[in-house]
A = this chain, B = another copy of it.
């Protein structure tokens, strides 16, 4: 019985790590899509969509595990928040890539490419920070991860602001509408990375 509980505990950390590395794979696929844009667009959008479906599956399994586990290694609400926010990162990257295709956008902007680069950095750090949850008392480097995530989110804010100024200086309203939504998804994805970092920080403060 005791080993069963231990196994279950390990299960949640496994799921968080799977979800975070899946988000990192999504960010890399987004960079790939943007670097070769619009070559093989439909295929590259589908790669991200498949990763996002994978993420849905991981999230669903985590929630199922949560509903079936009586004693959880960390608070239930923290497990729920962490898994949901991790899932959001991929949903938003998938949203951005889907919009490029649906809106038939002809070329990607430098700001969009910069966002994809930020998301690779952010999700890589999230993957490392999530791995700290397994060894709460033995992860001194985690504070460095939090600082880095806040830096990235700040860069994302400034990038979004610059993108908006450029966009509203244009004269094509339909183009404006299209890009506003793509940028919104990309910027919210970086915000969700910060939310995940804040959730991890909260858990560490409670248990360390």
Residue numbers of A with Cβ under 8 A of B are 63-64, 67-68, 77, 98, 102-104, 161, 164-165, 168, 171, 173-174, 176-178, 180, 202, 205-206
A164 to B103, CA, bound (A): 8
From DSSP, what is the main secondary structure of chain A's interface residues? helix
Q: Is the CB of B161 within 8 A of A68?
A: no
Q: Is the CB of A168 within 8 A of B164?
A: no
Q: Is the CB of A168 within 8 A of B103?
A: yes
Q: Is the CB of B174 within 8 A of A168?
A: yes
Q: Is the CB of B202 within 8 A of A102?
A: no
Taking CB atoms, residues of chain B closer than 8 Å to A67 are: 202, 205-206
Q: Is the CB of B178 within 8 A of A177?
A: no
A165 to B63, CA, bound (A): 34
Determine which residue in A77, A174, A178 has the highest number of CB atoms from chain B within 10 A of its CB, and name it.
Answer: A174
Q: Is the CB of A68 within 8 A of B205?
A: yes
User: Please, which residue of chain B has its CB at the minimum distance from the CB of A60?
Assistant: B198
**Can you pick out 17 interface pairs between chain A and chain B where the beta carbons lie within 8 Å of each other?**
A64-B205, A68-B205, A68-B206, A98-B161, A102-B164, A102-B165, A102-B168, A103-B164, A168-B174, A168-B178, A171-B174, A173-B173, A173-B174, A173-B177, A176-B177, A177-B177, A177-B180
Determine which residue in A104, A177, A206 has the highest number of CB atoms from chain B within 10 A of its CB, and name it.
Answer: A177
Taking CB atoms, residues of chain B closer than 8 Å to A164 are: 102-103
Q: A177-B176, A178-B168 are contacts. A63–B103 as well, Cβ < 8 Å?
A: no
